[in-house]
Structure 1
Amino acid sequence: MHYNDFRKLGFTTLSNGLIAYYPQLKISDAELILIIQLEAFAQRGENFPTNEQIAANTNLSTGEVASITQQLIDQNYLSIDQLTDKQGRIGNFYNLDALYQRLDDFLSTNVMIKSHQDQTEKVSDSLDNNPLNTLARQFEIEFGRYLSPIEREEISAWLNVDHYNPEIIKLALREAVLSQAYSLKYVDRILLNWQRHNLKTVAQVQKFLQRNR
């Protein structure tokens, strides 16, 4: 059997925002594992898996699954709601809507770029004032994966060796994402190009981009 054979088992879609920022939402690793399992079951059409089913897919015991489920309910991240099927039968289902609403609220307040008419407002992460960590988180959510230590070192060099403005690095990241180029090498080429044009402020970069759209 090869990887492509196992692909037939399917895939589970999970928000990159949740992967990158669950610690800021005070969600533990074990709670994230449970959320992933609930998503996996739901996306296969099983909306109320038993504790035994979940435990069989994890290193958790059924008791731990029950305890963690209750923790998520107590934190208002998870609820058990009822639905009626086409035959009129009433059943339960796990509802994660509250979790994703909290995630949306966090991202819109701390992370995401907000546009107001022709102006762009950058919202910094108020929970972490370290520019390296803030930038690393931004890259992780856009790339949909964790950065390697070497990649973090490269971002650190942009800040401490090249002395790029963190906001300009974020603009370069946005340009890379718009081009669907999810690599630091591409971002570095953008930064070098702006440096060659002697663009040192966010306003200068934005004016340059508007001229070259």
Structure 2
Amino acid sequence: MKENLLAWLEEGNITIPSILFSEYRNLNLNETELVLLLNILTFLEKGNQFPTPEEISARMTISTAECNEILRRMIQRGFLEIIDEYSADGIRFEKYSIKPLWERIVTQFLAQRQNNQVSTKMAEETDLYTCFEKEFGRPLSPFECETLAMWMDDDHHDPIIIKAALREAVMSGKLNFRYIDRILFEWKKNGIKTIEQAKNHGRKFRQKQIQKTMTKEEIHQSSVPFYNWLEQ
């Protein structure tokens, strides 16, 4: 029992990126091609740099001829390559490399992430235009649409921050693009980048405005002459 367990451990393990299983279909690989590549990876991990078609097919449910054909196809399609190496004594030998497979997966992964980011950005922008039209109660003019685009593309304001500035303008009773632009300018100057920072800054600003209003009222009241009815 102990010897069997040791033999099992000596077989070793290989690390396979999980993205290979989620993306192999998008790379137009079928299950047989995937298993063949995984077998080559296993051989490489165990020190067999150039396994023969006979060795590979012996682990699979395909013939040697089918294995040869798949190997040729994998090389042609850029998933596998044969490279020349030299031993310490200068003897030339060939080995398989699955580096092209990893490069294809990385390219696929980055392209997928970019597509997701573009889709997310488009959805956020559409939602932003909808929010503005809802608050203004009308379709935006071409100039207003251009201003929105400039806030995102030129000033690099996040759509969430622009929405927050819109809410701030609504709460202040000054619903116009010039006022919203001023809010965004002040926030950028003060390094405000998150919705929480924007809320805190808006709260403090409104408190200051209330204090200023109260101070003005107090000054106005003190400037009015006091009429003493008892002296009449």
TM-score by structure 2 length?
0.47
Equivalent of 2:88 in 83, 86, 93: 86
Pairwise CA RMSD of aligned residues? 2.9
- The residue type equivalent to 1:36 in the other structure is L
The yes-or-no answer on 1:57 pairing with 2:59 is: yes
Gaps of 5+ in 1: 114-120, 126-202, 208-213
Q: Which residue of 2 aligns with 1:46?
A: 48
**Pair 1:124–1:52, CA change in 2 (3 A):** farther
Report how far residue 63 of structure 1 moved.
Answer: 0.7
Distance in 1 (CA, whole Å) between partners of 2:45 and 2:37 is 12
Q: Which residue of 2 aligns with 1:7?
A: 9
Residue 13 of structure 1 deviates from its aligned partner by 1.6
- 1:59 Cα deviation from its structure 2 partner: 1.1
Q: Secondary structure of the residue that 2:94 maps to in structure 1? A: strand
Percent identity over the alignment is 25
Return the offset for 1:111: 3.5
Select the residue among 71, 74, 77 that pairs with 1:72: 74
Moved over 2 A (4+): 1-8, 121-125
The CA deviation at 1:50 is 0.7
Correspondences of 1:8-47 after superposition (within 5 Å): 8-47=10-49
Corresponding position of 2:100: 98
Taking a change above 3 Å as real, the CA distance of residues 112 and 85 of structure 1, as seen in their structure-2 partners, is farther
Return the structure number with greater helix share. Answer: 2
**CA offsets, 1:147-197, max 9 Å, x none?**
xxxxxxxxxxxxxxxxxxxxxxxxxxxxxxxxxxxxxxxxxxxxxxxxxxx
Number of residues paired by the alignment? Answer: 122
- Structure 1 residues 24 and 76: CA distance shift in structure 2, 3 A: same
Instruction: Tell me the CA shift for residue 124 of structure 1.
Output: 6.1
Q: Which has the higher contact order (CA 8 A, sep 6+)?
A: 1
What CA deviation, in whole Å up to 9, does each residue of 1:28-81 have, x standing for no partner? 111101100100000111110011111111111111110100110111111111
Cα 1:20–1:86 change in 2 (3 A) is same
Structure 1 length as normaliser, TM-score?
0.51
Structure 1 residue 22: deviation in Å? 0.2
Instruction: Specify the code of the residue in structure 2 equivalent to 1:87.
Output: D
User: Residue type matched to 1:53 in 2?
Assistant: E
Counterpart in the other structure of 1:181: none
From 112, 116, 139, the equivalent of 1:110 is: 112
Q: Distance in 2 between matches of 1:95 and 1:123?
A: 34
AA aligned opposite 2:52? T
> Any stretches of 5+ residues in structure 2 without a counterpart?
121-193, 199-232
Q: CA deviation at 1:123?
A: 6.2
